[in-house]
Amino acid sequence: MLEIRIKKYMDDIVNVAFKDEDDALRNKYKRYYLKILVKEKATSSGCYYPDKSLIEIYNPSLGARHLAKCCLHELSHHIDKCKNGETGHQKPFYEVYRKLIYASLDMGILTAADFDDHFSSDQNKVRKMVSEYIPHPIEYKLPEEAIIKVKNAFAYKDILKDSGFRWNKIEQTWEKDYSEEDEAFLKSFGVLSDKETEDLRTAYYLIKDNNMYIDAVVYIEASGSTYDCREILKEYHFYFNGELKKWVYKVDAADKDKMLLILKTDDRLRTCNFGILKRKN
């Protein structure tokens, strides 16, 4: 569902950026697959596979706006490939990228600050393009619908799936377009709202705007003597990251201080140390 929402925004940006081209070409530019992966990479946040017309986006922990910007970058490769038969980081690519950036700014989907993240290898070129941007605002209505998200609901996954909820692997939630009936359905088997529970380990639901953005997340890492505490860490939904060789737990950025306090005051985990995982660029 997350990929579907984001691709809808990207397709709208394409329609604005290439409004002077015919429908057949615009439709060709929108024929690609989008995957957002729960993968942290220090050197890249995205990749385009021209033979598959596939865009992969990584590093969701950097936040939604970084994710959207990277999606535009990889989409530029796809459109460059459609136009010129190949793609790289040459002038034709940046001509496409400029159009997409300006359209996203005109539509109010992204802001100039979103393109200044000190992460991309071509950041100086991107900054120059943004500095040359002349606004031509376009009335673009963001979705008004809401979605209902259920967290920590492994015990209910089958009933949620049967009821039409879909798994969002990036935010680790079950989600569905909001309805009062579904909210009552969740309450019927004891799932409380985020405003009704203080225990972040229990199943709870929250209602969010249905847009392309994701809740910003951070990773809490466990260090110290973790081996004897591994079962307790699993209770808190930690998992062992084989690449990092660490026990880690993904949490909404807004909840990180609360979660750290819970972990640090659990006597069963007194041999462990907890902190926010730092990315290595």
Instruction: For residues 225 and 198, state if they share a domain.
Output: no
- The domain in which residue 262 lies consists of 217-276
In angstroms, the CA 75 to CA 78 distance is: 5
Instruction: For residues 117 and 157, state if they share a domain.
Output: no
Instruction: For residues 156 and 123, state if they share a domain.
Output: no
Beta bridge partners of 268: none
Structure confidence by residue, pLDDT tens digits, 116-168 = 876 677 888 999 999 999 999 998 876 667 889 998 888 899 999 999 999 88
Structure confidence by residue, pLDDT tens digits, 14-26 = 999 999 999 999 9
Distance of CA 258 to the CA centre of its chain: 22
Report if residue 221 sits inside a domain: yes
212: confidence class by pLDDT, cuts 50, 70, 90: low
Report if residue 224 sits inside a domain: yes
Report if residue 181 sits inside a domain: yes
Instruction: For residues 109 and 26, state if they share a domain.
Output: yes
Structure confidence by residue, pLDDT tens digits, 29-78 = 999 999 988 777 777 788 999 999 999 988 776 777 788 889 999 999 99
Instruction: For residues 250 and 163, state if they share a domain.
Output: no
In angstroms, the CA 43 to CA 65 distance is: 18
Instruction: For residues 221 and 245, state if they share a domain.
Output: yes
Domain end marker among 209, 238, 261: 209
Give me the pLDDT at residue 174, please: 92
Average pLDDT over residues 78-95: 95
User: What is the overall mean pLDDT for the chain?
Assistant: 87
Helix (H) / strand (E) containing 35: strand 33-36
Concatenated DSSP letters for 235-268?
Answer: HTT-EEETTTTEEEEEEEGGGHHHHHHHHHT-GG
Integer angstrom CA distances of residue 274 from 6, 62, 251, 263:
33, 20, 13, 7
In angstroms, the CA 58 to CA 119 distance is: 13
Instruction: For residues 64 and 152, state if they share a domain.
Output: no
Instruction: For residues 71 and 179, state if they share a domain.
Output: no
Q: Is the pLDDT of residue 280 over 60?
A: no
Instruction: For residues 49 and 31, state if they share a domain.
Output: yes
